[in-house]
Structure 1
């Protein structure tokens, strides 16, 4: 979603109606079933379960009207949830986000395995969501698995139990 010039206030009002709040820089609104995070000035990524929101882009176009432009992104992104007690150690090895300072709803753009990604801190203390380019899903998955395996074997010298 990108607010159109001169329609920013209208876009904010409608996004607030949908999400409960409009995410600002570095933030996500972890609303259910729709959620969204800030991507840039007057730009947000909005997501929802595909089972119930297969037509999300069309719904957003209907809701936002001429207040915003909506670009379908369903096929462009892959989503990985990293959950568990070693999540912070894993995240520190994957990218440069300040994971130990991040709170629920924080969202950061970063690079993982040479790929531009977003890391969103979820409500559970041991949970992050990583969004990356779908075209590189295999490479991103490989980086996640290799890092998790390295943590498990202690090859990174982690403080986490091996």
Structure 2
């Protein structure tokens, strides 16, 4: 009975929830240009904010569960579909698939909270705090360079690097996941503004006159 109720609750959550940029889905499709630059939302990823001393016992326990905690600015540690991004010397952001969340039958971030122990740090479920915008294609860097002060040249920003920055004046975390692929994590309340800014910045590359 309990398992059936949990499955029913999971189905209801999947049906009812709306992502912060869901109303821009069609605009993202029409504003993208295959072979140049494409934009989409990756909704409902499981996210957890972690504050812990990575050199302490609690940090070691969490590292065992996540595949390790990054040790320097820009570092990302990945284990399967789960990644931990460095935000500060004792601050990290865990990103995992939507199905990892306990509301959908997974075990995050509950298992992290349990592993942390009392008074040794903090784990906060941030899954509803941010959304994920994914920008990809050979023109993706040129789009970002219109409003991001980071040096995005491939010699400097390599795949597997994540940094806090501003894009179009909006605070966000920028994660370069591949040579021509970026994931952007704005707070949910800024998702529409940033999504529309990116669409505007993409406009010249989506034009049929641009090759």
TM (norm. structure 1) is 0.83
Q: Is the 8 A contact 2:173 2:185 kept in 1?
A: yes
More relative contact order, 1 or 2 (CA 8 Å, 6+ apart): 2
Q: Is the 8 A contact 2:147 2:169 kept in 1?
A: no
The answer to whether residue 189 in structure 2 is matched with residue 135 in structure 1 is: yes
Number of equivalent positions: 154
1:158 is aligned to: none
Separation in structure 1 between the aligned mates of residue 116 and residue 175 of structure 2, nearest angstrom:
25
SS of residue matched to 1:82: strand
Instruction: For structure 1, list consecutive stretches of 5 or more residues without a partner in the other structure.
Output: 155-160
Q: Say which is worse superposed, 103-112 or 54-63, in terms of deviation.
A: 54-63
Separation in structure 2 between the aligned mates of residue 139 and residue 108 of structure 1, nearest angstrom:
20
**Higher Rg of the two aligned structures:** 2
1:125 is aligned to: 179
Instruction: For structure 2, list consecutive stretches of 5 or more residues without a partner in the other structure.
Output: 1-49
Distance 1:104 1:12, change over 3 A: farther
TM (norm. structure 2) is 0.66
2:38 is aligned to: none
SS of residue matched to 1:94: coil
Q: Is the 8 A contact 1:14 1:64 kept in 2?
A: yes
1:60 is aligned to: 112
SS of residue matched to 1:85: coil
The answer to whether residue 160 in structure 2 is matched with residue 105 in structure 1 is: yes
